[in-house]
Amino acid sequence: MSVSHPAPRVRTGRTLHIWTPEDKAFWEREGDAVAKINLWISVPALFLAFAIWQVWSVVAVSLPGLGFLYSSNQLFWLAAAPALSGATLRIFYSFMVPVFGGRRWTAISTASLLIPAIGIGYAVQDNTTTYPTMLVLALLCGLGGGNFSSSMANISFFFPKERKGSALGVNAGLGNLGVSVVQFLSPLVVTASIFGVFGGAGQTIIKNGISVQVWTQNAAFIWVPWIALTSLAAWFGMHDIADAKASFASQAAIFRRKHNWLMCLLYLGTFGSFIGYAAGFPLLIKSQFPAVNPLAYAWLGPLVGAVVRPFGGWLADKVGGARVTLWNFVVMAIAVVGVIQFLPHNGVGGNFGGFFVCFLVLFLTTGIGNGSTFSMIPVIFLTEAMRGVDLNTPSAVAQAQKEGNTLGAATLGFTAAMAAYGGFFIPKSYGSSIALTGGPEFALWGFAAFYVLCIGVTWWYYARKHAEMPC
């Protein structure tokens, strides 16, 4: 007498017990629709995380006009501090999705953005707020920076191999728009008392010799209701994947994998450049071209970088991530040299138009490179896991795919963590270079040299004929 067993449940509440995106029949039947729901809730959550992470790039520029007596180097520290804490948090966030579940962690980490958003809104209303307090608030903005690692790791679980590059590009690219939008929107929302008496009193500043009233707190407060709504949407609308559960110990295998560290280097060159240039761009414009209003132009760079990121992922899926990444670094090195040529030297000369165009090229290439490097990671680890596996043994194939996806997701998160330190080092390098030499040229030459190193690594390990891991 045979005993029948109940079929495994596909879903329990918001948990998916069966998730096989590489199975084309499953993907077409239900996988595609579920994956898209999670992607389109993840995008605004990541958008808000980047907005809070980068709000200090705007606030720091405004502080002197509000009566905060901070030095130029202190202002660069405030602009760089969110990247320092955000990058550090990313290391831990990288491993949270398999431990807690993507739905739970997205909702909780998004809700945590309320802390810096509310704190900044109150602090900027009082120009006697101490510098250490401001520095703590800047560091708390790093809560937004940490979210990227967990968000990308989570989305990578939902899509099949051939769709990962495009999906990750959409998630990151539209999420990255938060950097540009916060720099564009903030100067507009501070001009009116949007929240009435609940938002606090305005501040009086002198602009072009005329007294103007502003509500600088709106730059932070404007995000509060959206953070609350998105946190609820993530909790009630997203899913946890049961098979994506893994301990920290199992994920820690990436620390023994050479390609994890190599991709950390390459992603530092792309995303590290994007977030670093975005954080330092307003202050760099203000220090080198005092007659130019930095907030009128700075938002365009991150916008370009964010918009083209999905294209970088798509292009990598079509022609190969390594090939796109290689030539992308070549253009980045050339663009940095171009920026140097248009800078004023010893306060004399300079061409803002040429400087700005070269920086737009830099932002363009950081966006394309962000997409192409991230598309390489899942392919590398899935390919590595599948080597030597008997394709005629379904259980062995399934286990290899699970291992490859788990390690690929962990590497996505960890490389994002390491790369985020670029958001600290680039603005801080500007500040140090200006303090020591009178200009940012020394820092920029260092960036160009680093891109040459990335060209060599990409070519040798991934792009050349007979490379160790072509992708």
pLDDT 10s digits, 115-149: 999 999 999 888 888 999 999 999 999 888 888 87
The span from the first CA to the last CA of the chain, in angstroms, equals 52
If you write DSSP's letter for every residue of 221-288 in order, what string do you get?
HTTHHHHHHHHHHHHHH--EEGGG---HHHHGGGGG-HHHHHHHHHHHHHHHHHHHHHHHHHHHHHHH
Given a cut of 60, is residue 199 above it in pLDDT?
yes
Helix (H) / strand (E) containing 207: strand 203-207
The residues, ordered by sequence, that sit 6+ positions from 89 with a Cβ below 8 Å of its Cβ are 142, 143, 145, 146, 417
Rounded mean pLDDT of 37-43? Answer: 95
What mean pLDDT value characterizes the chain? 86
The pLDDT, as a whole number, for residue 13 is: 67
Of residues 234 and 183, the one with the higher pLDDT is: 234
Residue appearing with tokens 């199975």: 23
The pLDDT, as a whole number, for residue 323 is: 94
Taking the C-alpha atoms of residue 207 and residue 101, their distance in angstroms, rounded to an integer, is: 49
Taking the C-alpha atoms of residue 305 and residue 363, their distance in angstroms, rounded to an integer, is: 5
The pLDDT, as a whole number, for residue 41 is: 96
Q: What number of other Cβ atoms are within 10 A of residue 152's Cβ?
A: 27
- For residue 116, what are the domain limits? 11-463
Assign residue 180 the CATH number of its domain.
1.20.1250.20
What global pTM score does this model have?
Answer: 0.73
- For residue 347, being part of any structural domain is answered with yes
Taking the C-alpha atoms of residue 96 and residue 110, their distance in angstroms, rounded to an integer, is: 14
The pLDDT, as a whole number, for residue 11 is: 59
Per-residue pLDDT band at 6 (split at 50, 70, 90): very low
Per-residue pLDDT band at 459 (split at 50, 70, 90): very high
Rounded mean pLDDT of 364-373? Answer: 93
The pLDDT, as a whole number, for residue 4 is: 45
Q: Tell me, what amino acid is at 30?
A: E
Given a cut of 90, is residue 343 above it in pLDDT?
yes
Query: Which of 150-154, 193-197, 399-403, 437-441 is predicted with the least confidence, judged by mean pLDDT?
Result: 193-197
- For residue 471, being part of any structural domain is answered with no
Query: Which of 91-100, 278-287, 443-452 is predicted with the least confidence, judged by mean pLDDT?
Result: 91-100
- For residue 236, being part of any structural domain is answered with yes
pLDDT in tens, 77-118: 887 788 889 888 888 887 788 888 889 999 999 999 999 999
pLDDT in tens, 41-66: 999 999 999 999 888 877 877 888 88
Residues making up the chain, counted from first to last = 471
- For residue 6, being part of any structural domain is answered with no
- For residue 2, being part of any structural domain is answered with no
The pLDDT, as a whole number, for residue 248 is: 67
What residue spans of 320-388 are helical by DSSP H?
Answer: 321-341, 352-386
Query: What are the φ/ψ torsions at residue 414 (nearest 5 degrees)?
Result: -70, -40
- For residue 256, being part of any structural domain is answered with yes
Quick check: 87 and 418 in contact, CB under 8 A? Answer: yes
Cα–Cα distances in angstroms (integers) from residue 390 to residues 74, 385, 403, 421, in the given order: 59, 12, 15, 41
pLDDT in tens, 202-216: 787 766 667 778 888
Taking the C-alpha atoms of residue 264 and residue 457, their distance in angstroms, rounded to an integer, is: 11
- If one counts the domains in the chain, the total is 1
Taking the C-alpha atoms of residue 31 and residue 44, their distance in angstroms, rounded to an integer, is: 21
The pLDDT, as a whole number, for residue 327 is: 96
Query: pLDDT above 90 covers what percent of the chain?
Result: 37
Per-residue pLDDT band at 9 (split at 50, 70, 90): low
Q: What number of other Cβ atoms are within 10 A of residue 91's Cβ?
A: 16
Given a cut of 70, is residue 229 above it in pLDDT?
yes
Residue appearing with tokens 């060159």: 269
The token pair at 303 is 């916008």
